[in-house]
Structure 1
Amino acid sequence: MLKGFYTAASGMISQQRRTEMLTNNIANVNTPGYKADQSSIRSFPEMLLQRTESSSLPVKNGASFGSASSLGPIPLSTGAYMQEMVPLTAQGDLRETGSNSDLALLELNVPLFPETNQKGMLFFEVLQDDGTRAYTRNSHFDINNLDQLTSGGLPLLSTTGEQIIVKGDFEVTAQGEVLSNGISAGRINVVLADDVRLLMKRNDGLYAVENNGVLQSAVNNPEVSYSIRQGYVEGSNVDVTKNYADMMTAYRAFEANQKVLQAYDRSMEKAVNEIGRLR
């Protein structure tokens, strides 16, 4: 009976975490470049319970042979858990803003990762205060007081690893070449995350790689093609209708596990207070 408590509780916890993920997706429906999270719920390893038996033979010194028989034909599940969250790699819709500092990254061709058969993702590369690299799809850029092109206050990096300095009017070509007053200020470094499972999404909308890893540049990669659209912002790829429907499904699953837990609790109460009562 105690196993039933743990199984129902694990189901409630996994659905609660899934609901939190879906709520975060819906809250970021208007965040530029936001990629919706997807979850995968898995079952813990199943157990096949067995009973140990012994058979004695009537011989001079006695002999016994141990044997085991299964308790029931079906393995016992030990609960479920939310294994991982991975971003949805679909392209968000582009919206024209007319602002020169808005740069939307349009993916034209990104290869599939062979192990998962899932498409990779392209990112802009920015420099953090501690000198490490972070990655973003937020297409709304600003120019700081040092004339640096920035995203969320972090400088955008070029293919040479340097900050991009713009003064006055500037133009960005489809391949990411930044022209400031007709002079090249560098080429925007677009990087490729071929295996999205290695990405870690942070609360500030940035992505990082495990162990401060660095993504490889997608510039001049023959398997990758993209276009940078100046004056456009990429919207989020959150499907509000689907997320609301999934949230309702998660709520119903949570509610069903809650009722199972309550049923086990009533059975346990009866076993303790009635069946086990000394008269």
Structure 2
Amino acid sequence: MLKGFYTAASGMIAQQRRTEILTNNLGNANTPGFKADLTAVRSFPNMLLSRIDGEATGRQGDISPVGSLGTGVYVQETLPNFGQGSLRETAIPTDIALTNGVLPEGSAIFFRLEGQDGELYTRNGSFTLDASGDLVNPQGFYVLSDTGERIRLANDDFTVTAEGFIRQNGADVARIGVALSLQPEQLTKTGNGLFQAAGGALPSAYGGAADFSLRQGFLEQSNVDAARTMTDLMAAYRTFEANQKVLQAYDRSMERAVNEIGRVN
């Protein structure tokens, strides 16, 4: 019976974690460039139960199988969905949307940013110019060019080509840095729609085989499916409640076993 407590409790913990992730997705449904998190729930290895009796062969001490026993579930991993979000026109010259073209299977592309501990990557193209004329993201991180340098402009009167070249006063000033990651699942979310490379997952600048385009005056929206997320959220709530009822049933059975069956007259 005690195993049942742990099994039901593990289901509640897993669904609570799923609820937190789905709620975060729903809360960022209108955040530009946000990538929804997906969860993978797996079960712990089953236990094979046997009994020692003589029913199977008639000989005392023989072992006969009873069957397998589930031992609970857990959230194995959380991975972002790097699918393309829809585009929204803003007509703001510093808003730039990055759109996927023909990319290597399983890969993803990002804007390059200068972080405090190395490069950061994002799909949020809601940029602006700081007091020095440098192109920065909403958190103040500098947008990098394809050569890894900061992009400084005289003013916001410029154009961006589909290939990422920034033209001002009739001349190319810089090319917006775009990085290709062949293993985007290895990137770590650091908050505010930013990703950081971990281990050997360092994206390569322009990546050679990457096919993409940039659109000025547009923003890529979140790829969260609000209707699907709400459905999954309700399912997680119901599964949590079902495990809760099982746990309560075990608790009542244990209470009866202690207070009634185990009573010494």
TM-score, reference length from structure 1: 0.87
How far is the alpha carbon of 1:53 from its aligned partner?
7.4
Does structure 1 residue 231 correspond to structure 2 residue 217?
yes
Contact 2:33–2:220 at 8 Å: present in 1 too?
yes
Does structure 1 residue 170 correspond to structure 2 residue 158?
yes
Does structure 1 residue 256 correspond to structure 2 residue 249?
no
- Residue 45 of structure 2 aligns to a residue whose secondary structure is coil
Does structure 1 residue 201 correspond to structure 2 residue 194?
no
| Corresponding residue to 2:100 among 86, 89, 107 | 107
**Aligned mates of 1:25, 1:249 — CA distance in 2:** 15
Which residues in structure 2 correspond to 1:50-61 (within 5 Å)?
A: 50-51=50-51
Report the equivalent of 1:37.
37
Report the equivalent of 1:57.
none
Letter in 1 for 2:194: L
**Aligned mates of 1:271, 1:29 — CA distance in 2:** 49
Report the equivalent of 1:60.
none
Letter in 2 for 1:186: A
**Identical-pair percentage:** 49
Letter in 2 for 1:173: T
Letter in 2 for 1:31: T
| Corresponding residue to 2:69 among 73, 76, 79 | 76
- Residue 47 of structure 2 aligns to a residue whose secondary structure is coil
How far is the alpha carbon of 1:179 from its aligned partner?
1.9
- Residue 49 of structure 1 aligns to a residue whose secondary structure is strand
How far is the alpha carbon of 1:189 from its aligned partner?
1.6
- Residue 207 of structure 1 aligns to a residue whose secondary structure is strand
Contact 2:182–2:201 at 8 Å: present in 1 too?
no
**Structure 1 unaligned residues grouped into runs of 5+:** 55-64, 113-118
Contact 1:86–1:196 at 8 Å: present in 2 too?
no
Contact 2:111–2:123 at 8 Å: present in 1 too?
yes
**Aligned mates of 1:77, 1:167 — CA distance in 2:** 65
Aligned residues: 258
Q: Deviations over 1:202-231 (max 9, x none)?
A: 222211122495211235x23x21000011
Contact 1:199–1:210 at 8 Å: present in 2 too?
yes
Contact 2:108–2:182 at 8 Å: present in 1 too?
yes
Contact 1:158–1:164 at 8 Å: present in 2 too?
yes
How far is the alpha carbon of 1:275 from its aligned partner?
1.2
CA RMSD, aligned part only? 1.9
**Aligned mates of 1:198, 1:230 — CA distance in 2:** 29
Distance change (3 Å), C-alpha of 1:38 and 1:239: same
Contact 1:167–1:181 at 8 Å: present in 2 too?
no
How far is the alpha carbon of 1:42 from its aligned partner?
0.6
Report the equivalent of 2:169.
181
TM-score, reference length from structure 2: 0.91
**Structure 2 unaligned residues grouped into runs of 5+:** 55-59
Does structure 1 residue 16 correspond to structure 2 residue 16?
yes
